[in-house]
Amino acid sequence: MKKEKTSKIKIIIITIISLAIIILIAMYTTNSNFRNFIDSKFLNKNVSENNLAIIEINSDDNPALFAFEDYIGVFAKNKLSIYNNKSDLINELTINITTPLIKTNGKYIVISEDNGNKFYVINSTNLLWEGNVDGKIQKININKNGFVSVIVSNSTYNSIVIAFNSDGNELFKTYLPSTYAMCSDISINNSYLAFGEVDYSGTVIKSNIRIMSIDSAETIYNYSSSANDIISNIKYVDKEKAICMFTDSISEVTPNSGTVLYKINDNISFTDINIDNHIAIIERQSSGLFSHEYQLKILSTNSNNESLYFLNNKLPKQMLASGKIIALNYGSEVDIVNQNGTLKKNYVSSKQIKDLIVGENIVGIVYKDKIEIIEI
């Protein structure tokens, strides 16, 4: 009898502990006030201004700022200064550009002159090669292996899409006489170029994703969106799969198929496809007659898995993503979340944050005169 009683007590204790753990996890997941208390008091996820490495900047120089890998780039007056996550100056490069377009991917950076004909390719902290094109550069992109795609315009064609390999050799050009190219990307295995083009000539605006073979320079697949659904961004997530952002939808396009992954409606405040194999969406949900709550929904592009991070009634002013992290800027506070919906860092400031820059392993909190660095 004693053993049986002891066994029952153990079962009751285990059940109570299990229920308590489940309740605590549910509260941590869904209640931002409770989550902030646990993060600050027990998990040490909170950081605040003036306790981080700082890069001083001069706003009068109108610097272009960006983050990549573990580095911060500051471009001003034809000089690119590259800092590490401790705010140490690693290298300075002369870049003869006035109005920069900057794209990063892993360790690679490409900087071009907006509406100019020159661009530079950088590997981490070193200049690899310089390129020139005939026409005016409208958009530029670079893949994880340093292959570059450039969209230019001239007096003859609305758009010309040009592909370069990592050594700076031109691979091919594609001429668009009646449509406008809006974005482009090259696959991770350097086999395909995807670009989005828009036709404004008819009564209905049409968007099209064209997949081209890098080897043959031939179009191998075309995917058309619904009417007036305008393409804005493309990101390859593996050897064949390109995730395409439209105004009203997000689609997956491969060399032989195209599928709508998500329909964007009026309840969606932010979307981002710049996350490794995931899509980030901030969605509004009604919590009462006159109130709404928000959640960050993170969808896997490889499966049906979905992760949630609850924002309650806090709607960010800005959402940026890179690699495996998502940064949410509320104005004087920043949440940094991973692709599983887990909070990595919470940053609190006494003043308004001007901007965020996000790399794979680093977030820069931008003020008028400085950048504060958060390591992830």
Q: pLDDT tens digits for 289-320?
A: 556 799 999 999 998 899 999 998 899 999 99
Does residue 182 lie in a domain region?
no
Residue 20 confidence (pLDDT): 63
* Structure confidence at residue 28 as a pLDDT band (50, 70, 90): low
Residues 25 and 35 in one domain: no
Say yes or no: 51 and 6 in one domain.
no
Which two structure tokens, joined as six digits, stand for 75?
A: 């471009």
Range of the domain at 26: 2-30
- Mean pLDDT score, 165-176: 97
Q: Would 143 be classed as within a structural domain? A: no
Q: Is residue 289 part of a domain?
A: yes
Number of domains present in the structure of the chain: 2
Q: Are 281 and 294 in contact (CB under 8 A)?
A: no
Q: Over 90: is that where the pLDDT of 368 sits?
A: yes
What confidence score (pLDDT) does residue 267 get?
94
Instruction: Say what the pLDDT of residue 164 is.
Output: 98
Distance, CA of 141 to CA of 126 (rounded, Å): 18
Inside any domain, residue 312: yes
Work out the pLDDT band at 2, boundaries 50, 70, 90. low
Domain co-membership, 349 together with 375: yes
pLDDT the model gives residue 51: 86
In a domain, 249, yes or no: no
Query: pLDDT of 124-163, one tens digit each?
Result: 999 999 999 999 999 999 999 999 999 999 989 999 999 9
* pLDDT over 90, % of the chain: 81
- Contacts for 319 with CB less than 8 Å, ≥ 6 apart: 270, 272, 280, 282, 296, 326, 327, 328, 329
In a domain, 150, yes or no: no
Query: 66 in a domain, yes or no?
Result: no
The mean of the pLDDT values for the chain is 91
Alpha-carbon distance of 347 to 314, in angstroms, equals: 15
Residues 279 and 312 both lie in one domain: yes
The values of phi and psi at residue 273, to 5°, are -110, 10
Query: In a 3-state reduction of DSSP, which class is residue 157?
Result: coil
pLDDT at 334 over 70: yes
**Residue range 194-235, pLDDT digits in tens:** 999 999 988 899 999 999 999 999 999 999 999 999 999 999
Residue 47 counted as domain residue: yes
The contacts found for 363-367 with CB under 8 angstroms, 24 or more apart, are 363/67, 363/325, 363/327, 363/334, 363/336, 364/55, 364/65, 364/67, 364/72, 365/49, 365/52, 365/334, 366/65
Looking at the fold, whether 21 and 37 belong to one and the same domain comes out as: no
Q: What is the pLDDT of residues 102-132, one digit of tens each?
A: 999 999 999 999 999 999 999 999 999 999 9
* 9 and 50 belong to one structural domain: no
Question: The sheet that has 148-153: what strands, in order across it?
Answer: 136-142, 148-153, 159-164, 170-176
Note whether 6 and 52 are same-domain residues. Answer: no
Q: How confident is the model at residue 285 (pLDDT cuts 50, 70, 90)?
A: confident
Residue 24 has pLDDT above 90, yes or no: no
- Using the predicted structure, report yes or no on whether residue 38 has a pLDDT greater than 80: no
Q: Mind listing the pLDDT tens digit for each residue in 49-106?
A: 888 999 999 999 999 999 999 999 999 999 999 999 999 999 999 999 999 999 999 9
